[in-house]
Amino acid sequence: MQKIRKSYFSFTLATLSAVAVAFAVISACSGQQAKAKPNFVFKDAPKAGVVAKINGEEITEEQLIGDEKLEFLDLRKREYELKMNQLNKLLTERLIGAEAKKANLPLEEFINKKVVGGEVKISDQDYKNFVKEKHIPESQLNPQVKERIMAYLQGMKKQDLVQAYIGKLTKSSPVEVYFTKPKLQVNVEAGNGPFFGGKDAAVTIVEFSDFQCPFCSRAAETVTQLKKKYGNKIKLAFRHFPLPMHREARPASEASMCVNEQGTDKFWRYHDILFKNMDKLDAANLEKYAKEVGADVKKFQECVTAKKYAAHVQADMEYGEKIGVRSTPTFFINGQLISGAVPLEQFSEVIDEELAAKK
pLDDT in tens, the chain (359 residues): 665 544 433 334 444 445 444 444 444 444 556 678 899 999 999 999 999 999 999 999 889 988 787 788 889 989 999 999 999 999 999 999 999 999 999 999 999 999 999 888 999 999 988 888 777 888 888 999 999 999 999 999 999 999 999 999 999 999 999 999 888 778 899 999 999 999 999 999 999 999 999 999 999 999 999 999 999 999 999 999 999 999 999 999 999 999 999 999 999 999 999 999 999 999 999 999 999 999 999 999 999 999 999 999 999 999 999 988 989 999 999 999 998 889 999 999 999 999 998 87
Which pLDDT score is estimated for 5? 43
Q: What is the largest CA-CA distance in the chain?
A: 79
Amino acid found at 223: V
Q: CATH 3.40.30.10 in the chain: give the residue spans.
A: 195-358
pLDDT reported for residue 4 = 52
Helix axes 310-322, 249-260, angle to 10 degrees: 110
Task: Note whether 313 and 242 are within 8 A (CB).
Answer: yes
8 Å CB contact between 325 and 206: no
* Beta bridge partners of residue 331, listed in sequence order: 207, 338
Asked if residue 270 lies in contact with residue 304, where contact means CB atoms within 8 angstroms, the answer is no
CA within 13 Å, CB half, 334: 19
Whether domain 195-358 has CATH 3.40.30.10: the reply is yes
C-alpha distance from residue 17 to each of 23, 24, 29 (Å) = 10, 11, 18
**Ramachandran assignment for 75, one of left (phi > 0), alpha (psi -120 to 50 degrees), beta (any other):** alpha
Cα–Cα distance, 19 to 35 (Å, whole number): 17
The CB density around residue 165, as the number of other CB atoms within 10 Å, is 18
Reported pTM = 0.72
- Residue 237 · residue 194 · CB < 8 Å: yes
Torsion of CA 123, 128, 131, 133, to 10 degrees: -100
What would the 3-class secondary structure string for the chain be? CEECCHHHHCCCHHHHHHHHHHHHHHHHHHCCCCCCCCCCCCCCCCCCCEEEEECCEEEEHHHHHCCCHHHHHHHHHHHHHHHHHHHHHHHHHHHHHHHHHHCCCCHHHHHHHHHHCCCCCCCHHHHHHHHHHCCCCHHHCCHHHHHHHHHHHHHHHHHHHHHHHHHHHCCCCCCCCCCCCCCCECCCCCCCCCEEECCCCCEEEEEEECCCCHHHHHHHHHHHHHHHHHHHHEEEEEEECCCCCCCCHHHHHHHHHHHHCCCHHHHHHHHHHHHHCCCCCCHHHHHHHHHHCCCCHHHHHHHHHCCCCHHHHHHHHHHHHHCCCCEECEEEECCEEEECCCCHHHHHHHHHHHHHHHC
